[in-house]
Copies of this chain bind each other. A is one copy, B any other.
Amino acid sequence: MKPQPAERPGAGVTRCERCTLHARCLPLGLEFDALQSFDAIIRLPQSLKRSQALVRQGEPFTSLYVVRSGSLKQTVASAGQRDQVTHFYLPGEVVGLDTIGEAYCHGSVVALESAFVCELPFTRLEDLAERLPELRGQLYRCLSRELRRDQRMMCWLSGRTADQRMASFLLGLSERFRTRGFSPLCFHLSMSRSDIGSYLGLALETVSRVLGRFQEQGMIGVAGRELTIKDFDALHSLAEGAGGA
């Protein structure tokens, strides 16, 4: 159930400089020496299987995690309410930023498929950030980028139609894949319709219908979880568009 125990890396398997995410990850912009120090605090990538939990709601907060491969979702269980998906994490993204400064994790994070993550024990990261202004800056940037992301999300959820939310969601994913060097037009949805629905505040049936409609209209192609964006501009103007027409 628990992620497999982390060993210290022997040679250079986990070295950041060798990592394909190097250019998109937390240590971005660190000089050679700084990068070495950063490397030194990383706990060997933990491997997670589908539906395995990385973090459980209520657990003591100890570490941030950077996704190395695979994807995860964060869910928050609130009183009497069914679980709500609040986040999807893709490679290069940081899990746990919203828990900094708190004693306990306020959501669970679960793998959507086989995944590897790098663990960054927070106290060690903090110590290091004290010495490395670059790293400090990166941390702040990540935190406030996250804030903006959430606010964008709030705007989506508030007063936008199912079509607009869905379009924004797909474009958002596309963009995230693009910046990570994957195809922005053809990708795999690692989350279920139900997860998407929970995230977007829609019933899973609605998600299914909207995707179907988008496909009919020739804007996308969907086959199960394989998605192709066929008319980027149409999606874009739908997402931005005031009304929807």
Least Cβ distance of A70 to chain B in Å? 22
8 A Cβ contacts from A138-152 to B: 140-141, 143-148, 150-151
Residue of B nearest to A197 (CB): B159
Residue A4 at the chain B interface, CB threshold 8 Å:
no
CA of A67 to CA of B39, assembled, Å: 40
Q: Per-residue CB proximity of A127-142 to B under 8 Å, as 1/0?
A: 0001001001100110
Is the beta-carbon distance between B144 and A144 smaller than 8 angstroms?
no
Residue A157 at the chain B interface, CB threshold 8 Å:
yes
Task: List B contacts of A159 (CB < 8 A).
Answer: 84, 198, 201
Residue A241 at the chain B interface, CB threshold 8 Å:
yes
Q: Among A20-28, A95-103, A208-216, which stretch is in contact with chain B?
A: A95-103
Residue A155 at the chain B interface, CB threshold 8 Å:
yes
8 A Cβ contacts from A153-196 to B: 153-155, 157-159
Is the beta-carbon distance between B144 and A150 smaller than 8 angstroms?
no
Residue A76 at the chain B interface, CB threshold 8 Å:
yes
Q: How many copies are assembled?
A: 2
CA of A161 to CA of B157, assembled, Å: 13
A144 and B101 contact, Cβ closer than 8 Å, known pairs A155-B84, A159-B201, A200-B158: yes
**Pairs of residues from A and B, 8 with the lowest C-beta to C-beta distance, nearest first:** A158-B201, A101-B141, A150-B150, A80-B242, A157-B157, A98-B147, A100-B144, A79-B240
- 10 residue pairs A–B, Cβ–Cβ below 8 Å: A80-B241, A84-B158, A84-B159, A98-B144, A100-B143, A101-B144, A102-B148, A143-B147, A150-B150, A154-B157
